[in-house]
């Protein structure tokens, strides 16, 4: 487990298939216990997670993160699974969803749940108040930094829906995260520092690229 902040830890890199790299993140600042965002592909880090206090709640950003390890997290740690209501059928093939998520709200763990459909029908982002007053935004595959250093929306036709994704970027733009953490990523890291107006500029960059993609579709 690699420390990102005093209350945030990153699992080893996983590669579910060639060209895709992911991490999961353990946040130890949840009001009701430790929270795991996204999903691991193996149980290699389970002992490290246990040493940090285990997992009380597990949040998926969308259906692509669902797999055998989601059930294993529940079995090992007794974690309650939170996942998009719009994707219960797909995620439910792997594990029971204890808390379906459908609306924007701040939940009992202090996590702001922000539905951001478009990459997939149920894609959801999460905003938390982290250590030292910093805001951590978990964007799933809705928004990530590409290997060229520019921000990109997770538009994968025909899976993704461009109008919904564009609307979701408008929802994210007013936020002011200090740290942005995607699920899948390109380049060296999924974790990026954001400051001042940098985030709104990043979202605008992604919207421009998405509009270009729409024009070519």
Residue 156 above 90 pLDDT? Answer: no
Give 119's pLDDT tier (boundaries 50, 70, 90).
Answer: very high
Alpha helix (H) residue ranges in the chain? 46-51, 68-77, 88-92, 162-172, 198-216
CB 30 within 8 A of CB 57: yes
Q: Residue 73: phi, psi to the nearest 5? A: -60, -45
Q: Within a 10 A sphere around the Cβ of 53, how many other Cβ atoms?
A: 12
CB 137 within 8 A of CB 126: yes
What is the structure's pLDDT at 12?
Answer: 86
Residue 18 above 70 pLDDT? Answer: no
Give the residue-averaged pLDDT of 14-41.
87
CB 140 within 8 A of CB 124: yes
Residue 43 above 80 pLDDT? Answer: yes
Global confidence as pTM:
0.94
Per DSSP, 14 falls in state: B
């Amino acid at each position: 487990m690699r420390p990102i902040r005093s209350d945030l830890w990153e699992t080893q890199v996983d590669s579910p298939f060639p060209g895709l790299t992911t991490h999961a993140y353990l946040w130890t600042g949840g009001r009701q216990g430790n929270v795991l965002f996204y999903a691991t592909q193996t149980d290699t880090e389970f002992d490290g997670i246990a040493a940090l206090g285990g997992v009380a709640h597990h949040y998926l950003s969308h259906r692509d993160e669902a797999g055998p390890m989601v059930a294993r997290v529940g079995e090992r740690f007794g974690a309650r699974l939170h996942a998009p209501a719009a994707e219960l059928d797909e995620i439910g093939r792997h594990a029971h969803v204890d808390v379906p998520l459908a609306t924007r709200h701040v939940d009992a763990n202090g996590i702001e749940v922000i539905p951001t459909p478009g990459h997939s029908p149920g894609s959801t982002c999460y905003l938390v108040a982290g250590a030292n007053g910093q805001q951590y935004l978990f964007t799933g595959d809705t928004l990530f930094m590409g290997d060229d250093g520019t921000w990109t929306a997770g538009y994968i036709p025909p899976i993704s829906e461009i109008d919904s994704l564009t609307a979701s970027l408008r929802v994210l733009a007013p936020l002011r995260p200090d740290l942005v953490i995607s699920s899948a990523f390109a380049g060296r890291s999924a974790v990026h520092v954001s400051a001042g107006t940098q985030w709104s500029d990043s979202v605008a960059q992604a919207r421009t690229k998405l509009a270009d993609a729409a024009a070519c579709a």
